[in-house]
Amino acid sequence: MSAILTHIEISEAAAAHRRNLPYTANARLGANHLSRLYQSMLDNPQSSVIVAREQDRIIGLIAGTKSVENLKKAIFSGYGFFNLIKLFFRLLLSPGLVLQLGREIYHTRSLEDSAYLTVLFVEPDQRKHGIAAKLLQSLEFFFRELGVKEYGVDTTSSNAIARAFYQRYHFQVISEKSGNIYFRKKL
């Protein structure tokens, strides 16, 4: 049911991400950005992307990294000059996206060198079957293998389903800022 994402599945994962989390800054930056994000995570031994599949489709995905700072460097170093210019203009034309990215960077800067659950989603028609819990268990196994003792995650304050899930799995709220809730969990 769950397995490590392969290079062949990157575009499918990006499409599933955009479909399930369209409001996130990474999704708003577009499919190419998401593909680079997942490619960077696959190439980074301190990051993992795990998918749940049913037949021929991704029905859930979780991603995490031991170091957000190192992951960001890897993503943007792989962009190349031309793609960075395109990203700059996309940001220039989307002031709301600039504000969203600014808030995310500001509020997560103290977590830059921490392990972090970066993405978790399950397709709506597949929820309530324990898929998210199994994905979380797989990521925590990966983190333990790397020697991670605790990790963080954030969600919007309005996402009651995510808040309830994280609290059910023993995440502790560490702060609430600008419409986001930041959690930590000890392993």
pLDDT tens per residue, range 135-162: 999 999 999 999 999 999 989 899 999 9
Between residues 172 and 28, the one the model is more confident about: 172
Res 29: pLDDT: 82
CB 74 within 8 A of CB 42: no
Between residues 152 and 86, the one the model is more confident about: 152
CB 177 within 8 A of CB 161: no
Question: What is the pLDDT confidence band of residue 111, given thresholds at 50, 70 and 90?
Answer: low
Architecture of domain 2-186: 3-Layer(aba) Sandwich (3.40)
Question: What is the pLDDT confidence band of residue 5, given thresholds at 50, 70 and 90?
Answer: confident
CB 51 within 8 A of CB 13: yes
Largest CA distance in the chain: 44
User: What's the whole-model pTM score?
Assistant: 0.82
d(CA 75, CA 137): 26
From its phi and psi, is residue 130 left (phi > 0), alpha (psi between -120 and 50) or beta?
A: left
CA 136 to chain centre: 12
Please give the torsion angle defined by the CA atoms of residues 84, 85, 86 and 89, in that order, rounded to the nearest 10 degrees: 120
Lowest mean pLDDT segment, chosen from 20-29, 40-49, 123-132 = 20-29
